[in-house]
Structure 1
Amino acid sequence: MESVQQQREEEEEQAALRKQRMDKLKALQTAGFSTYALIDGELTFSFSQSYSTLMIRNKTHNALELQTTYDYLSPGEQVTQVQISFAGRIKSKRTFGKLMFLTVEDDSGSIQLYVEQQTLKDSFRYIKSLVDIGDIVGVQGCIKRTDKGELSIVVEDWQMLAKSLLSLPDKFHGLMDVEKRYRLRHLDMIVHPSVRQILKQRAQIVSTIREFLERKQFMEVETPALHCIAGGADASPFVTYHEALDLQLTLRIATELFLKRCIVGGFEKVYEIGRVFRNEGISTRHNPEFTSLELYEAYKDYQDMMNLTEELIKTVANQVCGTTEIVYMEERIQLGAPFRRVTMNELVKETLGLDILSFPDIETAKSAVEKKMEESMKDWDSIDSLGKLLSSCFEHYCEKLLIQPTFVLDYPIEISPLAKQHRKDPRLTERFELYIAGRELANAFSELNDPIEQRERFMKQLHGSEQVGKELDEDFLLALEQGMPPTGGMGMGIDRLVMLLTNSSSIRQVIAFPLLKPE
């Protein structure tokens, strides 16, 4: 009840503040100001005209450029021969009689505005009484460093570019609730520069990945987001409907099967960075829509994919973080050293002291694991093979221990329907997953290119499945029958890579607008 009352009081306060700002908006308009002005590359300020007809000249500098270019200025020094045109959002305002200091922020940083009545004359009073924190303004003037050492634009002309009708949260106490921050993400970006910084780093990560792959002559392909059959991963799809075709479709759960068609079609190096959709739970590691990188290269195998993946991550870390030694959740992680390569069976043997694949049957193996770990495992009725047991033990006991980069190799064939059978052990596949900080980051195979075996694997996978959209993908099998060369493929979660390189604990922090249940 107390929280409801508090929320009601906040809403009433916001309504009162909005009314005040609406009154200021009307006052500015009455005075002849355009409160949502245009930008123009030709015209500059001229107060001999009506305020409402003025347009701000394009910005000559951003805040970072000004701070860098005029870093040499000493306190009290001023540059009058260069005219600065600048625009941004007001983040603070201090008034001292006939002098005001406004901190204005743009995408690159912030700078102070030096506003004095002597320079602006009659216009000064409008800034003093009608301009608020949160407003977006354009100014023109020269640059100086104040006697107290603050680099500032001496404002000679100004214009309101967008009057903010809603006040920003209190500097020290506002917008602290995590859920509210995600619901008002635009406001979160305004108030917390660190949010924008993470999204900038995300963009840089994606850009670096593209540059890396293009240097290696991979071609970017855009595959369909609407599928007739959900394939390429074991996940629940979102179901939709196409009215004109009278056809039920699903949003893609992976880009894999269409990219492999490109390999069949004659391309030897292809990739896609795109959104995929899985109708599953939400957690710090999962969002129903996320971004994946998938790439395929003909005449390569999973060993080649390991080398490529390791090189890619080191390149991105160096470009974005400036180093391959990073800190994630207080763990110091070495991305520069050779990544460890170890089989799943070896890891389970290290952790449990049991060689799962050496047991004569599944029941004996289950009993040994329960005795060793002194606990009764849940949901073991569905585990009907040594391969599935090996995978379950790895998931329960080993994943969280893999802090330093580790390629986990040779997954059981039962859980790898798209991977080629291991050349030395038919119970396993040529597959790896990369783990860093206890979290899976990438998944790769020597791709299965035998259409007969692929059909058999799909049939086993689909046996008894009740998931919507689960069917045999005859079109993909038809493409495989045309002949696909030996191929290595790799998929990586972009969001998880961004989490790692930005030291973010939740996937929602690295997605601009994560999915939320409506209030």
Structure 2
Amino acid sequence: MLLEDYRNERLRKLEEIRARGVDPYPAKSTRNTKISDVIDHFDEKEGQEVTIAGRVVAIRSFGKLVFIKVRDYFGEVQIFMKAEGPAPDGLFGARDIKLLDTGDFIEATGKVGKSQTGEISVFANFVRLLTKSLRPLPDKFTNKEERYRRRYVDMNVNPEVRERLVRRSKFWQATRDFMNKHGFIEVNIPVLEHTTGGADATPFTTHMNALDEDFYLRISHELPLKRLLGGGFEKVYDIGPRFRNEGVDDEHLPEHIAFESYAAYENYEDGMKLYEEMIKYVAMETWGTLKFHVGGFDIDLDCEWPRVKYADLLKEKFAVDVFNPDREQLIRILKENDVETNFDVSEARLIDHVWKLIRKTSAGPYWLIEEPLSLSPLAKKSTENPLVTERFHPIIAGTEMGNGFSELNDPLDQLGRFEEQQAARDAGDDEAQMLDMDFVEMLEYGMPPACGWGNSERNFWLLEGVPGREAVPFPTMKSKED
């Protein structure tokens, strides 16, 4: 049968149900017991009357006997029914079973026991319809595009998807718990900005009718959170969506959840200690282990992570001098490694592409430190080498699992770097940062020395071992209607 035929048959049943005076979509359920309580505490529940509710996943009928498998969020159990007399108004007995389908939501009241085969069951005379399903759930659901587009179907047919989203929630809750335990305060900041900054990315643009002005969707939480430091906060963070108008691949989604935090009177040395501890804590709380096999790498987070200097790594791997870059050499390296990019961008951007070639083959964990000044417009210069910054990235399984640095709080230095970024943007680099004079003004009032850090849910995708679209509830898709 075609889907249309199944749907038409269910519409016929819906009409018959309504003709009986039954509301197929009542507003309230009287459920008083989760299915997991019936299964996990059978010894206590046996013989007791309970009311359960859930989605019908299977219906079997043998003469006067009916077995209905029902699933709620917490588990799955069998409802056992015998054909009795006519069902009371609003209820369905074994004789009415043809009006029910898999996918329907029902409620059943009965005593807990075991069937003759030993299966835990709820023995009910009648069931109550809570929701009539008009489309049948498929037995299998494997096409990626269809799975992403109809995620609600995907979660029913492939319950591991729903379980993954539960771990995603644990991931962020563990992050909050860790930060709160260390004295940080969560402050939600705006998504709409006049000037977007804090990262190298192309923003989305929108228009606010009330002010008749264009706004950007934030690409980073950074600058508003640092304004909070200027306003007197000492430890702040935010977890929420950010938007980057870039391609969709295994590591990038235009809309995703990210976390950023800032601690006054600390520097990048303090940050590396804190966030190494945080990543380990979150991993244990989410997966219960510090050992992972992802992307072909065997990763053990349970060690003291070494520190590797950015310039030393590029010199060792490609003989690149990041302080005196040879543009032709950089382009040659990228072409030899089949990197497709715009070669008219700055040397700093080309160096970053070369670095990513190294990163992809790095198992880690290690801290990448002392990124060049040209690549870090918001980081404080190193006191030992003014050509590099006090910036740090944790490298794990070929991925940068975060970004942190001693924050720049010299307003004149910051203005100069913003002007360099704006010049690159004016020259055609859409990912260069914008000149944000309001932020510079805040720095002129004074911001204490601080360490900042940010990571996105890419960390979850990585350690979960799945692409980004597999790890979010509703990935962005091109519009399509059935």
What TM-score, normalized to structure 2? 0.91
Partner-residue secondary structure (3-state), 1:477: helix
Deviations 1:359-378 (A, max 9, x none): xx433x85499599977987
Which residue of the partner structure matches residue 484 of structure 1? 447
**Identical aligned pairs, as a percentage?**
34
TM-superposed CA distance for 1:475, in Å, is 0.8
Which residue of the partner structure matches residue 277 of structure 1? 243
Distance 1:283 1:108, change over 3 A: same
Which residue of the partner structure matches residue 419 of structure 2? 459
Maintained 8 Å contact 2:262/2:450:
yes
Which residue of the partner structure matches residue 340 of structure 1? 306
Partner-residue secondary structure (3-state), 2:112: strand
Of the candidates 321, 325, 333, which is equivalent to residue 356 of structure 1? 321
Distance 1:401 1:513, change over 3 A: same
Maintained 8 Å contact 2:309/2:368:
yes
Maintained 8 Å contact 1:435/1:441:
yes
Deviations 1:291-338 (A, max 9, x none): 110000001111111111111111111111112122324543212222
Which residue of the partner structure matches residue 400 of structure 1? 360
Give, in whole Å, the separation in 1 of the partners of 2:32 and 2:312.
61
Partner-residue secondary structure (3-state), 2:425: coil
Q: Does 1:417 align with 2:364?
A: no
Which residue of the partner structure matches residue 141 of structure 1? 110
| Alignment of structure 1 residues 25-40 onto 2, 5 Å | 25-39=14-28
Give, in whole Å, the separation in 1 of the partners of 2:154 and 2:240.
25
Give, in whole Å, the separation in 2 of the partners of 1:469 and 1:333.
33
Distance 1:384 1:131, change over 3 A: closer
Maintained 8 Å contact 1:305/1:489:
yes
Deviations 1:249-270 (A, max 9, x none): 1111111101000001111000
Of the candidates 151, 156, 171, which is equivalent to residue 205 of structure 1? 171
Maintained 8 Å contact 1:366/1:389:
no
| Alignment of structure 1 residues 27-176 onto 2, 5 Å | 27-39=16-28, 56-57=29-30, 59-70=31-42, 79-80=46-47, 82-118=48-84, 123-169=92-138, 171=139, 174-176=140-142
Maintained 8 Å contact 1:362/1:384:
no
Of the candidates 231, 234, 245, which is equivalent to residue 265 of structure 1? 231
Distance 1:318 1:405, change over 3 A: same
Which residue of the partner structure matches residue 3 of structure 1? none
TM-superposed CA distance for 1:147, in Å, is 2.8
Give, in whole Å, the separation in 2 of the partners of 1:119 and 1:489.
70
Maintained 8 Å contact 1:252/1:277:
yes
TM-superposed CA distance for 1:473, in Å, is 1.1
Give, in whole Å, the separation in 1 of the partners of 2:336 and 2:463.
37
Name the Cα RMSD after superposition: 2.6
Give, in whole Å, the separation in 2 of the partners of 1:341 and 1:470.
28
Partner-residue secondary structure (3-state), 1:362: coil
Deviations 1:94-146 (A, max 9, x none): 11111121111111121111122249868424542111000000111111122
TM-superposed CA distance for 1:215, in Å, is 0.8
Give, in whole Å, the separation in 1 of the partners of 2:200 and 2:329.
28
Distance 1:156 1:120, change over 3 A: farther
Distance 1:284 1:439, change over 3 A: same
Give, in whole Å, the separation in 1 of the partners of 2:51 and 2:366.
51
Opposite residue 177 of structure 2, the aligned amino acid is E
Give, in whole Å, the separation in 2 of the partners of 1:372 and 1:232.
26
Partner-residue secondary structure (3-state), 1:38: coil
TM-superposed CA distance for 1:218, in Å, is 0.4
Give, in whole Å, the separation in 2 of the partners of 1:256 and 1:491.
8
What number of residue pairs does the alignment pair up?
474
Give, in whole Å, the separation in 2 of the partners of 1:377 and 1:93.
55
TM-superposed CA distance for 1:501, in Å, is 3.3
Maintained 8 Å contact 1:226/1:249:
yes
TM-superposed CA distance for 1:247, in Å, is 1.1
TM-superposed CA distance for 1:380, in Å, is 8.6
Distance 1:381 1:498, change over 3 A: closer
Distance 1:379 1:140, change over 3 A: closer
Maintained 8 Å contact 2:59/2:102:
yes
Of the candidates 19, 22, 28, which is equivalent to residue 11 of structure 2? 22
Opposite residue 79 of structure 1, the aligned amino acid is E
Opposite residue 438 of structure 2, the aligned amino acid is D
TM-superposed CA distance for 1:34, in Å, is 2.3
Partner-residue secondary structure (3-state), 2:106: strand
Deviations 1:180-237 (A, max 9, x none): 1111111112211111111111111111111111111100111111111111112111
Which residue of the partner structure matches residue 475 of structure 1? 438
Deviates more, 1:289-298 or 1:304-313: 304-313
Maintained 8 Å contact 2:241/2:255:
yes
Deviations 1:270-296 (A, max 9, x none): 000011111111111111111110000
TM-superposed CA distance for 1:240, in Å, is 1.1
Gaps of 5+ in 2: none
TM-superposed CA distance for 1:456, in Å, is 0.1
Give, in whole Å, the separation in 2 of the partners of 1:244 and 1:378.
42
Gaps of 5+ in 1: 1-9, 40-55
Distance 1:376 1:322, change over 3 A: closer
Maintained 8 Å contact 1:335/1:405:
yes
Partner-residue secondary structure (3-state), 2:67: strand
Give, in whole Å, the separation in 2 of the partners of 1:113 and 1:426.
72
Deviations 1:15-64 (A, max 9, x none): 1111111111122222332211232xxxxxxxxxxxxxxxx42x222222
What TM-score, normalized to structure 1? 0.85
Partner-residue secondary structure (3-state), 2:219: coil
Partner-residue secondary structure (3-state), 2:463: helix
Give, in whole Å, the separation in 2 of the partners of 1:261 and 1:126.
68
Opposite residue 77 of structure 2, the aligned amino acid is I
Which residue of the partner structure matches residue 437 of structure 1? 397
Give, in whole Å, the separation in 2 of the partners of 1:371 and 1:121.
77
Opposite residue 240 of structure 1, the aligned amino acid is T
Of the candidates 465, 469, 472, which is equivalent to residue 503 of structure 1? 465
Deviates more, 1:216-225 or 1:367-376: 367-376
Distance 1:262 1:285, change over 3 A: same
Distance 1:368 1:245, change over 3 A: closer
